[in-house]
Structure formats: structure tokens, C-alpha cells
Amino acid sequence: MADNADVPQLSFEKALAELESIVQKLERGDVALEESVTIYERGEALKRRCEELLRQAEARVEKITLDSSGKPTGTEPLDVG
């Protein structure tokens, strides 16, 4: 089984770049079966990390509120519902 202990510390950009690299390797089909399984498992861990970071970012996104004349008055939490 792949050692994925570093995945929770990866930034979104690094996790996504590595995930894209894994997808390309698997799509080419020139990877041995055992390595395919190992990198697929890592890809799953990277995918979960990216999804987690996206959920965290969505929770922090705020929308700008405007007054009747269209001028910004502040922000409020994004309604994700």
C-alpha cells in the first residue's frame, strides 16, 4: 500500500498537479500493474485532499453586499444552501 502520510500537508496546487500526473500515467497505460494500483491509491488520497481544501475554501468565501446605489457596504457569508 502506498505511503500517503504527506497528503494532508499538501497545498491544493501541489495535490492537484500530482493528481494530474498520476492520471496521465494511468491513461498512457505504460505502468506495471502493481505500480498502477499503488499510484491509483495515491490518486484517491490526493483527490480527497483536493475536495477537502475546496470545501474549506467555499466555507470561507464571502459575497459582497451592496447598498441601493450599488456601492459595497460589506460582506456576508456565502449562502451555500
DSSP character string of 4-60: -TTGGG--HHHHHHHHHHHHHHHHHT-S-HHHHHHHHHHHHHHHHHHHHHHHHHHHH
End-to-end CA, the chain: 38
Under the banding of pLDDT at 50, 70 and 90, the label for residue 72 is confident
Mean of pLDDT values over 61-70 = 72
Look at 74 and 36; give whichever has higher pLDDT. Answer: 36
- Domain count within the chain: 1
| Position 20 pLDDT exceeds 90 | yes
pLDDT above 70 coverage of the chain, percent: 84
Report the pLDDT value the prediction gives residue 79, as an integer from 0 to 100.
63
Whole domain around residue 17: which residue ranges?
7-77
Residue 1 lies in a domain: no
Residue 2 lies in a domain: no
| Position 67 pLDDT exceeds 90 | no
Which CATH number fits the domain that encloses residue 46? 1.10.287
